[in-house]
Structure 1
Amino acid sequence: MSDLHATVAPTPSGFHITGTETITYTFTFQDSIFSSSAPQLAKIYTPFSRCFLIADATIIHLYGAQISSYFSTHGIALTVHETRIGEKAKTMETMLGICEAMTRFGVLRKEPVLVVGGGLVTDVAGFACAAYRRTTPYIRIPTTLIGLIDASVSIKVGVNHGAHKNRLGAYHAPLHTFLDFTFLRSLPEAQVRNGFAELIKISTCADLRVFELLEQHCEDLIKHKFGRAEGAREELRQAADEVNRRGIERMLQLETPNLHEIMLDRVIAFGHTWSPTLELAPKVPLRHGHAISVDMAFSTTLALVKGMMGVEEHQRILRLFSRAGLSMDHPLLTEELLKKGTEAILKTRDGKLRAAMPVPLGGCTFLNDVTEKEMGEALRKHKEVCMAFPRNGEGIDAYVDASDTGEGMAQMVGTVGEKAGGLMDKIGKMGGQLLGARQTVEHLPN
C-alpha cells in the first residue's frame, strides 16, 4: 500500500480528492529470450505453473516449437491463443475475442498474460488486458523493429474505430518488456524498413548522434536486419546496438514524465499530425512507418517554406528517407486530406496543432501557427521536391500485405484447421482441442 497515496479535502459543496499511484515497469535487453540460457521469463511464470500466451499466426509458425520447448523445460504448462491481426482487424471485435479466450483460460487477477508479436498484437492484447477486470498484468515481447523501438516504449494500447486510428484505447503499462532483437532475423526486409522510420523520427527531433549513425549505415542496417542477420559485420552490430539503445532510452526519457499525455506538446509525435488520417485512407492501408514518413517529410518541407529550416538540412533529412526506401509523398496527400487531418488532430491536441518539427536537426520546435494557404504552398513545394528523388518519393513495399497479418503464413502451412493440427504435432505432445472464433484460433492443452 506504500505506493498508493491520496488526500480527501472537504470543500464547501463536497470533497476534492487528489491521488497518486506509482507506475513501475522494466525493460530488459535479452537476445534469444526463449533459449534455455535465458531463464528470466520462466522465473516470472514458475509460481503459476502455467502461461497464457497471445501471439499471431506468423509467430506461432516460426517460433511455436521453440516457445513450447522453453516452457516445457521449465515445467510450465503453455496455452496459446492465436490471433490474426492487421490494421483492418485492429478492432473491438478482435479485442473482445481475446477477452473471451482469457475467460476460458481462467486468468487470475494478478496472473500476467504473455503477449508476443508486433505492435498491432501488443496494442490490441494490451487493450484487452487493460479492460479485463479493469486491469490485468501482462508481459510484452515485441518481435518487429517498430515494436521493439517504438510501440514497446509507450504504455498506450488500443484499437482502431471506424476510419479512425487508435480511437479507442487506454494507458496500461506492461509488467515487464523483454527486448530480443534476434527476432529481426526472420522479419521481412519491408518490415525492418517500416521500423526504421521510427528511428528517423526520434533521431531528427531528439538525438543527432543516432541520426548520424542512421546516415552512415542506412542500407546495411535494413539489409542485414540491424546486425542480426547471418554474416553481418560486428561493426554493424555494434552500431545497431547503439542506435537501438540510444533511441529507446531517448524515447523513454521523453515519454515517462508524461505517460498519460497530459502535456500535449510531445516530441515523439513528430510524423503523427497528418499520418493518422493518411494511414488508413488507401483501400490497402499504408504501413505505419511509411505513413509517418510522408508526414515527417512533408513537415520538413513546411518548416522550409516557413523559413524555420535551411535547404541543406531539408535535403539531408529527405535523402535519408529516400535511401531507406521510405515514402515521402503519396497521391492521397492532398490539400483536402491535410485539412481533414488538421481538423482531426486539433481535437486530439486540445485545439492546437502542436506539430513537432526537427528544428534544429536533433532538436524540436512545435508549430501552431500555420494557415491553409501555407500548407497548400508547402504541399505544392513538397511534391515538386519529391519529383527529384528516386521513385518520385514513393516508398518501397509501402502497403500492408499478408506478412503483416499472418495470412501469408497461414497460406504457406495450409488451412486453419490443418495448421492447428500440424502445429500440435510440431510443438510436441502438447495435445489439445481447437476452439474457433472469427478472428482467433486457440490451442488449449489437455
Structure 2
Amino acid sequence: MSSDLTAEVQQTPTGMRVLGAEKLDYRFHYISPVFDVSHAKLAETYKPWKRVLIVIDQMDYSSDVAGIYKETIDKYFAHFSIPVAWKIIKGGEINKNMDTFNDIVDFMDSEGLVRKEPVLVVGGGLVTDVAGYACASYRRSSNFIRVPTTLIGLIDASVSIKVGLNHKKLKNRLGAYHAPMDTYLDFSFLKTLPIGQVRNGTAELIKISTCADKRVWDLLVKHGKDLVENAYGHKEGAEHLLAAAEEIEKKGIDVMLKLESPNLHELGLDRVIAFGHSWSPTLELTPKVPLRHGHAINIDMAYSITLAHKRGLLNEAQRDEYFNLVTSIGLSIDHECFNEELIVIATQAIMKTRDGKQRLAIPDGEFGKCTFLNDITDEELIETLKVHKAFVKERYPGYEGVDAYVDAGDLGEDVKTFLAAKEDGSNEPESMKKNGVNGVKKAAVAAGAVPVGGSGKLTNGETGAIKVAA
C-alpha cells in the first residue's frame, strides 16, 4: 500500500520521533458556465464512478441554489449519462450545525459512498463548510469537489481548506483542514445572487486589495460601485464590466492563494488576510439581528484605516479614498455596538488565537502593502475609536450601510421568526442566540478573553478558568 506521506523515524533518549510531510495537491478550474454541456471536464471526473452524489443548499428565500440550478444540473449530467443522487439541505447560519452534518453523513452512508469517490458540493458557505467537514470525517477522509455559488465562496472560502460548523455560541468551533480535489470557479452564478450578497462578498476583495494588491485596489476604486450593482458584469447590459471584473476576481484569488498556500493550517500567525478580522468576530453576532460578515469586517477595516491614519501610516487622501469607496458600495463603517467595551474584549479574545500577540494587519504607507501592529494599548484603542466615530459622524452623517443585517437567506428562516425565538430562547441554536453587550463579554471571556469591567478596563484579581452560563 503506497502513501504520499514521506517521513523518517528518529531515535530519541526516551523513545522515538517521527518527522514527515504529506503531499497536498488540489486544483482550481475557471469554467463558466460550469454546468453547460459544452464543458465536459466536471462530468469526466464522475464517468469512472458511473454516478454523482450531490449536496446542495435550498431555502424558501432569496438564496435558493437548488431551486434555481437543480434542473440545469440534472440536464448536464443526463447529457453525459451520469445518474444523480441528490441531498438538498437547508441553508442559513442556524443550520450550520451538527444536525446538518449528521444528515449529510447519513446520505453518504445510505448511498454507499466509496472512500475515494468525490461528493459534489454546490452552494454557499454553509453547504461547502458543513459538507466539507462531513467529508473530512466520513471514513476519516473522503473526497469532495466544490462549486461555490456566492461571491464570498468564490473569492474567500474557495481558497481555504478549512471546513466546519458552529457549536453552541461559537462560530466554526468544530472543524478540520480538508482540501477538496477540485474547485470550480464560475462567476456567472453572480447573476442570480441578490445584490446584498454581492456587496457582502465585495468586502473580501477590499480586504485582499487594501493590504496585498494595489492593482486590484485601483480597479475597485474605479469600478466598485458599478460592479456591485451589476453583478460584476453578469447583469444584462453590463458586459463592459466583465474585463475589469475578471482581472479583479482572478488577481484576488491568486493573491489569496499565494498568501495562504504556504500557511494553509495557519501555523504562521502574521496573516495579511486577517485584515478586518480582529474585532469583527465579536461584533458580527452582537446586534439583535446579526450583521452580515462583509459589513462586520468592513467596520473592522474602517476602524483600522482610522488607526493607520492616526499613526501616520496613511495620509488623509488615502484615508478618504478608502471611506469613499466603501460608502459608495454601501458597506457599513461603524455601528452602535462597536464600542469601547467591545474593542477591549475583542482584542483580548483574538490574542488567544494569535499566540498572545495582537498581530493587527494594517496597510503600510500605501494600499497593497501590509504591516503588523503589536503595541497598541487599550487607551490608544479607545482614543482611536473616539476619533473614528467623530470622523464618521462628521463626514457621513446618518450613514448606516445598505442591507447590513442578515436576512432570511443568511439565517435559514424568516427574520421575524428568528427574533421571536430569541425572545423566549426556543428553537434557536446556541450559536445564534442574541449576545448583547453582556453576552459579548460572556462569549468572549468563555473563549479566552481577559475579563473587563463596565468601564472597559481590565479587572484585577480574576484568574483561572472562567465558566459562563449558557
Q: With structure 2 as the length reference, what TM-score do the two structures score?
A: 0.84
Shift of 1:88: 2.7
Name the % identity: 53
Please give the alpha-carbon distance, in whole angstroms, between the structure 1 residues aligned to 2:239 and 2:405: 30
Matches within 5 A, 1:28-107: 28-57=29-58, 58-107=64-113
The answer to whether structure 1 residue 379 and structure 2 residue 380 are counterparts is no
Equivalent residue for 1:290, pick from 260, 283, 295 = 295
Shift of 1:72: 1.2
Equivalent residue for 1:370, pick from 360, 371, 376 = 376
| Structure 2: runs of 5 or more not aligned | 59-63, 415-427, 430-470
What is the letter of the counterpart of residue 382 of structure 1? H
| Structure 1 residues 173 and 391: CA distance shift in structure 2, 3 A | farther
Matches within 5 A, 1:365-444: 365-390=371-396, 392-405=398-411, 407=413
SS at match of 1:298: helix
Most deviating of 44-53 and 120-129: 120-129
Most deviating of 157-166 and 251-260: 157-166
Please give the alpha-carbon distance, in whole angstroms, between the structure 2 residues aligned to 1:230 and 1:195: 20
Deviations 1:394-425 (A, max 9, x none): 210011112335657xxxxxxxxxxxxxxxxx
SS at match of 1:348: coil
**Larger RCO, structures 1/2 (Cα 8 Å, 6+ apart):** 1
| Structure 1: runs of 5 or more not aligned | 409-437, 440-446
Deviations 1:6-57 (A, max 9, x none): 0000111100101111100100001111111011110011111111111111
Which residue matches 2:454?
A: none
Equivalent residue for 2:233, pick from 207, 227, 230 = 227
The answer to whether structure 1 residue 149 and structure 2 residue 155 are counterparts is yes
What is the letter of the counterpart of residue 53 of structure 1? I
Most deviating of 368-377 and 157-166: 157-166
SS at match of 1:271: coil
Please give the alpha-carbon distance, in whole angstroms, between the structure 2 residues aligned to 1:201 and 1:218: 13
Contact 1:342 1:353 in 2 (8 A): yes
Please give the alpha-carbon distance, in whole angstroms, between the structure 1 residues aligned to 2:170 and 2:392: 28
Which residue matches 1:109?
A: 115
Please give the alpha-carbon distance, in whole angstroms, between the structure 2 residues aligned to 1:87 and 1:290: 16
Please give the alpha-carbon distance, in whole angstroms, between the structure 2 residues aligned to 1:398 and 1:77: 41
Shift of 1:385: 1.2
Shift of 1:383: 1.0
SS at match of 2:49: coil
Which residue matches 2:356?
A: 351
Which residue matches 2:323?
A: 318
Most deviating of 389-398 and 335-344: 389-398
Please give the alpha-carbon distance, in whole angstroms, between the structure 1 residues aligned to 2:69 and 2:395: 39
The answer to whether structure 1 residue 27 and structure 2 residue 28 are counterparts is yes
SS at match of 1:20: strand
Shift of 1:277: 0.8
Q: How many aligned residue pairs are there?
A: 410
Shift of 1:118: 1.1
Contact 2:278 2:300 in 1 (8 A): yes
Which residue matches 1:13?
A: 14
The answer to whether structure 1 residue 342 and structure 2 residue 343 are counterparts is no
The answer to whether structure 1 residue 131 and structure 2 residue 132 are counterparts is no
Please give the alpha-carbon distance, in whole angstroms, between the structure 1 residues aligned to 2:399 and 2:15: 60
Contact 1:294 1:329 in 2 (8 A): yes
Contact 1:84 1:407 in 2 (8 A): no
Which residue matches 1:418?
A: none
The answer to whether structure 1 residue 4 and structure 2 residue 5 are counterparts is yes
Contact 2:91 2:409 in 1 (8 A): no
Equivalent residue for 2:266, pick from 256, 261, 266 = 261
The answer to whether structure 1 residue 188 and structure 2 residue 188 are counterparts is no
Equivalent residue for 1:239, pick from 235, 244, 260 = 244
